[in-house]
Chain A
Amino acid sequence: MEKTIEIRWHGRGGQGTVTAAKVLADACLSGGRHVQAFPEYGPERAGAPLRAYNRVSDHIIRMYCPVLHPNVICIADATLIDGINVTEGARDDSIFVVNTSHDPKEIREKLNAKPGQKIFTVDATTIALECIGRALPNAPMLGAVSRATGIVSMDVLLENVEKSFGKKFSRKIIDGNLEATKRGYEEVKEG
């Protein structure tokens, strides 16, 4: 592992992408690590493309600027692949985690990914609809990211999903998100 892991999230306003970055930061605090989570602030509109970032490191993080060369790229909405350059600044060994019902091989082709780049897919929207009843893919995406990167264990992640959603939502919604996170972890596919 690199000494600092940098993550870029692509999502649309209202999908919970910024919340996902926040929950991941919280979860990665474990083991005395340093973390950052920050969105790119612009006019905030539901449905508009947005980016958010994480940095996770064993050392103090001093860099205060957007991530240019992410180790991990999380795409919470696959329709963004057509509209924006989600591979911008990617490393030769970057990991992509994509919310889609399509096969990882198709996505690899679509992204024109390099051989060293790893492609993971998860049907996070379907999982979310089944577990929460709403198309909020952030919880299954977090589960998939945990599996694809090993950046944080499932136990710690679930603890933080519970803590984060527990502040605002009913038991039913919290349980739905925990289930969705687990399913994201279990159902993610590599190809």
Chain B
Amino acid sequence: MGKIVAVTGNEAVAESLRQVNPDVCAAYPITPATDLMQRFSSFISDGKVDTEMVLVESEHSAMSACIGAAAAGGRVATATSSQGLALMWEMLFIAAGDRLPIIMPVVNRALSAPLNIHGDHSDTMGARDSGWIQLYSETAQEAYDNAIQAFRIGEHPDIRLPVMVCMDGFIVSHSIERVEYLEDSEVKNFVGEYRQVNPLLDIDHPKSYGPLILTDLYHEYKRAQHEVMTKVKNVVLEVASDFEKLSGRKYGLFETYRLEDAEIAIVILSSAAGTTKDVVDRYRDKGIKAGLLKPRMFRPFPYEDVAAALRHLKAIAVLDRADSFGGYGPLFSEICGAVMSMDTKPPMINRIYGLGGRDYMPDQAEKVFDELIGIAETGKVGAIKEYIGLRE
């Protein structure tokens, strides 16, 4: 077994990258980037990894360099956050469209304006349609574990897609907590050797990436991209099963907490799920059948599996730490998509919380559960979308 340490989420994920030892890493170190990449670049300076670090002039260039390196045949990683991810946006679609398994931890932080660098999910939710696989992490341990698994998932020969590993800005990225590291050799064996299927540097077999495809085949190409995404679920579960054998830690497409016999439940991503679990326990102690579902894999979204897990509920609240102005929160929209297949649809509400790092306190979850109790009794929903934790 590896060692147990007290580290920040950023330290833990930087450590996972050191253990994986990717070939190339391109980054642009400026706020709102975090110390994740700074810590990893120290490993490079100290000769602890063989990674070639490409320091570029913007996040757009960082992703461009990653795309080039991945197409050339390298195992590639980078990390970003907030505006940095927003600036990468154009290149994200190219990484996915070219089937390049770039692994990118993302520290979830708010987008400007107004200027704010605190934790919310606006950045990665804005990238949800870019064709990247997205895994969300509740704790520093999960961020570390997900980052290691991401290499196996993204680089799987059937998949070959880029992966974002998301953790909450400050709340997890900059906070110290207990993390169990795997041994270097265990991580090395787990991720294995990476062989690019179509490396540009194989000059005996020339290839082109990103050619012009007009109305003749673009439509089919995009459908093929969706087809690949349908295979991701099984690979994620297979990798999770191998990871459990190695670490003893269990992962799935989502996590449920006291949901099996629950009557009301909150669906929520990342660190806020932890706080909510403690509130679930308090409500259970009062005899109220409360539960929780925390999605781990947001892209592709496991609609059928989530629907099966939520089917028996009398009322559901979906809490979003990102907004779609003039629309519902992104997680709520997905849960609606899941619930659509049910014959009897449970009433649902969408509550927006924690934007720009506003603390998500236990009393916010309590108020939501109290509202759900009323909805479960009467079947009546007031406002579908509302904001919670607002200053009065």
Given contacts A25-B176, A35-B176, A35-B178, contact A65 B362 (CB under 8 A): yes
- How far, in Å, is B166 (CB) from chain A's closest CB? 15
Q: Which of A48-77 contact B (CB under 8 A)?
A: 61-66, 68
- Tell me, in angstroms, the Cα distance from A29 to B170 when the chains sit together: 21
Q: A105 on the interface (CB 8 Å rule)?
A: no
Q: B174 on the interface (CB 8 Å rule)?
A: yes
Q: A36 on the interface (CB 8 Å rule)?
A: yes
What A residues does B54 contact at CB under 8 A?
none
What A residues does B271 contact at CB under 8 A?
64
Q: B370 on the interface (CB 8 Å rule)?
A: no
Cβ-defined contact, A66 with B176, below 8 A: no
Q: A22 on the interface (CB 8 Å rule)?
A: yes
Cβ-defined contact, A38 with B175, below 8 A: yes
- Tell me, in angstroms, the Cα distance from A35 to B274 when the chains sit together: 14
Cβ-defined contact, A62 with B178, below 8 A: no
SS class, residues of chain B in contact with chain A: mixed
* Tally of chain A residues near chain B (CB < 8 A): 22
Q: B359 on the interface (CB 8 Å rule)?
A: yes
One of B6, B277, B362 near A29 (C-beta < 8 A): B6
- How far, in Å, is A39 (CB) from chain B's closest CB? 8
One of B5, B176, B278, B357 near A63 (C-beta < 8 A): B278
What A residues does B176 contact at CB under 8 A?
21-22, 25-26, 35-38
- Tell me, in angstroms, the Cα distance from A39 to B278 when the chains sit together: 22
Q: Which of B156-207 contact A (CB under 8 A)?
A: 168, 170-172, 174-178
Q: A118 on the interface (CB 8 Å rule)?
A: no
Closest residue of chain B to A32 (Cβ to Cβ) is: B4
Q: B246 on the interface (CB 8 Å rule)?
A: no
What B residues does A29 contact at CB under 8 A?
4-6, 178
Q: A34 on the interface (CB 8 Å rule)?
A: yes
Q: Annotate A1-39 by CB proximity to B: 1 below 8 A, 0 otherwise.
A: 000000000000000000001100110110011111111
Given contacts A34-B177, A35-B6, A35-B178, contact A64 B172 (CB under 8 A): yes
Closest residue of chain B to A55 (Cβ to Cβ) is: B177
- How far, in Å, is A112 (CB) from chain B's closest CB? 26
Q: B373 on the interface (CB 8 Å rule)?
A: no
Cβ-defined contact, A34 with B274, below 8 A: no
Q: B121 on the interface (CB 8 Å rule)?
A: no
- How far, in Å, is A191 (CB) from chain B's closest CB? 32
Given contacts A25-B176, A62-B274, A65-B360, contact A41 B170 (CB under 8 A): yes
- Tell me, in angstroms, the Cα distance from A15 to B327 when the chains sit together: 46
- How far, in Å, is A10 (CB) from chain B's closest CB? 18
What A residues does B118 contact at CB under 8 A?
41
Q: B14 on the interface (CB 8 Å rule)?
A: no
- Tell me, in angstroms, the Cα distance from A25 to B272 when the chains sit together: 21
- Tell me, in angstroms, the Cα distance from A66 to B272 when the chains sit together: 12
Q: B381 on the interface (CB 8 Å rule)?
A: no
Cβ-defined contact, A64 with B171, below 8 A: yes
- Tell me, in angstroms, the Cα distance from A66 to B361 when the chains sit together: 8
- How far, in Å, is A84 (CB) from chain B's closest CB? 18
- Tell me, in angstroms, the Cα distance from A28 to B172 when the chains sit together: 19
Q: B333 on the interface (CB 8 Å rule)?
A: no
Q: B275 on the interface (CB 8 Å rule)?
A: yes
Given contacts A29-B6, A35-B6, A41-B170, contact A62 B177 (CB under 8 A): no
- Tell me, in angstroms, the Cα distance from A33 to B4 when the chains sit together: 10
- Tell me, in angstroms, the Cα distance from A38 to B178 when the chains sit together: 12
Cβ-defined contact, B178 with A64, below 8 A: no
Cβ-defined contact, B175 with A62, below 8 A: no
Closest residue of chain B to A34 (Cβ to Cβ) is: B178
One of A21, A41, A61, A64 near B272 (C-beta < 8 A): A64
- Tell me, in angstroms, the Cα distance from A28 to B5 when the chains sit together: 11
- How far, in Å, is B329 (CB) from chain A's closest CB? 19
- How far, in Å, is B118 (CB) from chain A's closest CB? 7
- Tell me, in angstroms, the Cα distance from A33 to B6 when the chains sit together: 10
One of B6, B278, B361 near A26 (C-beta < 8 A): B6
Known: A35-B6, A36-B175. 8 other contacts (CB 8 A): A22-B6, A32-B4, A33-B178, A35-B176, A41-B170, A62-B274, A65-B360, A65-B361
CB-CB nearest 8 A-B residue pairs: A38-B175, A62-B274, A37-B176, A64-B271, A25-B6, A26-B6, A34-B178, A25-B176
A-B residue pairs in contact (CB < 8 Å), sample of 23: A21-B176, A22-B6, A22-B176, A25-B176, A26-B176, A28-B6, A36-B176, A36-B177, A37-B177, A38-B170, A38-B171, A38-B176, A39-B174, A41-B118, A61-B177, A62-B275, A63-B275, A63-B362, A64-B171, A65-B275, A65-B360, A65-B361, A65-B362
A residues near B (Cβ < 8 Å) are 21-22, 25-26, 28-29, 32-39, 41, 61-66, 68
